[in-house]
């Protein structure tokens, strides 16, 4: 029941396909089957896009990974070791990057997105997390006992917990987050991962939909209008109430200004590093499924109904930009002062921000 509710959100709001697990046929597990080559690299469903230095890297359905070295004009598919749907990608440096997705998969590239290896999947995570919380429970830790029961529930049907986002502070230190409170941290570039689920100050395991480092802080967007902020001194994520009660799917910002956006066009802004929040009037009725800031500090939002909003973080005034092929959008990056590349249900598109 919990899984069905989560999948309905992913399918309807983020325009992603059903998890690759649903496409398993016999022993053909997407975690064991490399992504198939396709000629439809620019029109196949994509979920996210990121800069790897000057290169662009986009990821999507059935392990699809494509790269462009000319700001999105031409694209080349790159081999992926899995055919699970990929949902997010991040490069903290031009060479080192990570992609995550369904089945708890974590992929790593050390050459700017040209080649990829699998570092983690949901099968490994299930074993590791259950053992971790079993050890805590055996020591009499009440939180460990509670989370042990949650992990057994999360993985009772296999590696079905999706990783929804990834963010690295540098080549060594990074987080992946996802459904039902999944939060893992690495301090060695993904060679090993540790649970941070018990380091979230909230009793319920909420979906952790996005994670970003903005200014000097690290934030996670979640359900119930909650944005989690990392307390570095305590090494814990504290829940911050924004005044909203729905789900946030995206985060963006610069300096002390942060924007969290999500259901039904809802967006909230903080100008003091996440301490206080106020509502932004986006004029959208559709859910915001992607957010980013441009090189000039402008805020860019993309939505479920194909809208692209371009505006100023300070004045909160937005212009609606026409996308060449209107479709459900899920990600955006700036490629110049007045240009961007978006991804979504119908692939990848270049957009002029005029």
Q: Tens-of-pLDDT digits for all 354 residues of the chain?
A: 444 334 444 444 444 443 444 344 446 899 999 999 999 999 999 999 999 999 999 999 999 999 999 999 999 999 999 999 999 999 999 999 999 999 999 999 999 999 999 999 999 999 999 999 999 999 999 999 999 999 999 999 999 899 999 999 999 999 999 999 999 999 999 999 999 999 999 999 999 999 999 999 999 999 999 999 999 999 999 999 999 999 999 999 999 999 999 999 999 999 999 999 999 999 999 999 999 998 788 999 999 999 999 988 777 788 999 999 989 999 999 998 889 999 999 999 999 997
225 within a domain of the structure (yes/no): no
Length of the chain (residues): 354
Q: What is the pLDDT of residue 27?
A: 63
- DSSP label at 305? T
Closest CA to 53 of 96, 109, 106: 96
Q: What is the pLDDT of residue 189?
A: 98
Q: What is the pLDDT of residue 147?
A: 98
**Strands ordered across the beta sheet of 257-262:** 248-254, 257-262, 267-270, 278-280
CA distances from 34 to 30, 31, 102, 126 (A): 7, 8, 14, 22
Neighbours of 65 (CB within 10 A): 25
Q: What is the pLDDT of residue 268?
A: 96
Q: What is the pLDDT of residue 2?
A: 44
DSSP E strand boundaries for 255-325: 257-262, 267-270, 278-280, 288-293, 299-303, 308-311, 318-321
Q: What is the pLDDT of residue 22?
A: 39
SS3 content of the chain, % helix, strand, coil (to 5): 15, 40, 45
Q: What is the pLDDT of residue 101?
A: 98
Q: What is the pLDDT of residue 162?
A: 98
189 within a domain of the structure (yes/no): yes
229 within a domain of the structure (yes/no): no
CA distances from 148 to 141, 203, 312 (A): 11, 14, 45
As to burial, measured by CB atoms within 10 angstroms (0-12 exposed, 13-18 middle, 19+ buried), residue 14 is buried
User: What are the residues whose beta carbons fall under 8 Å from the beta carbon of 69, sequence distance 6 or more?
Assistant: 54, 55, 56
- The answer to whether the beta carbons of residues 103 and 122 sit under 8 Å apart is yes
Opening angle at CA 331, ends 22 and 120, nearest 5: 50
188 within a domain of the structure (yes/no): yes
User: What are the residues whose beta carbons fall under 8 Å from the beta carbon of 33, sequence distance 6 or more?
Assistant: 82, 83
Q: What is the pLDDT of residue 317?
A: 85
Cα end-to-end span (Å), the chain: 45
**Cα–Cα distance measured from residue 80 to residue 66, given in angstroms and rounded to the nearest whole number:** 10
Q: Give the total number of structural domains in the chain.
A: 1
114 within a domain of the structure (yes/no): yes
**Cα–Cα distance measured from residue 285 to residue 168, given in angstroms and rounded to the nearest whole number:** 32
Residue 17 sits in which domain range?
Answer: 1-21+44-121+159-166+176-193
């Amino acid at each position: 029941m919990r899984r069905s509710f989560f999948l309905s959100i992913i399918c309807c709001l983020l325009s992603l396909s059903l998890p690759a697990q649903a496409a398993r046929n016999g022993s053909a597990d997407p975690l064991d089957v490399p992504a198939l080559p396709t000629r439809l690299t620019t029109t196949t469903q994509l979920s996210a896009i990121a800069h790897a230095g000057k290169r662009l890297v986009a990821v999507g359905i059935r392990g699809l990974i494509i790269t462009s070295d000319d700001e999105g004009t031409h694209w080349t598919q790159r081999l992926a070791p899995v055919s699970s749907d990929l949902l997010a990608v991040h490069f903290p440096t031009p060479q080192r990057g990570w992609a995550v997705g369904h089945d708890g998969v974590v992929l790593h590239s050390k050459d700017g997105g040209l080649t990829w290896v699998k570092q983690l999947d949901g099968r490994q995570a299930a074993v590791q997390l259950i053992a971790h919380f079993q050890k805590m429970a055996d020591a009499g830790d009440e939180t460990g006992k509670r989370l042990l029961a949650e992990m057994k529930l999360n993985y009772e049907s296999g590696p079905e917990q999706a990783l929804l986002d990834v963010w690295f502070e540098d080549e060594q230190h990074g987080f992946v987050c996802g459904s039902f409170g999944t939060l893992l941290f690495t301090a060695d570039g993904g060679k090993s991962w540790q649970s941070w689920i018990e380091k979230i100050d909230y009793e319920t395991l909420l979906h952790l939909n996005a994670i970003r480092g903005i200014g000097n802080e690290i934030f996670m967007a979640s359900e119930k209008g909650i944005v989690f902020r990392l307390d570095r001194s305590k090494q814990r994520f504290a829940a911050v109430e924004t005044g909203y009660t729905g789900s946030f799917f995206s985060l963006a910002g610069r300096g002390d200004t942060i924007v969290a956006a999500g259901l039904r066009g809802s967006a909230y802004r903080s100008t003091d590093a996440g301490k206080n929040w106020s509502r932004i009037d986006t004029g959208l009725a559709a859910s915001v499924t992607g957010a980013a800031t441009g090189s000039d500090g402008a805020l860019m939002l993309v939505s479920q109904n194909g809208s692209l909003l371009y505006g100023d973080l300070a004045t909160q005034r937005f212009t609606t930009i026409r996308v060449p092929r209107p479709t459900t959008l899920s990600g955006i990056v700036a490629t110049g002062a007045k240009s961007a590349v978006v991804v979504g249900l119908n692939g990848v598109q270049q957009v002029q921000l005029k």
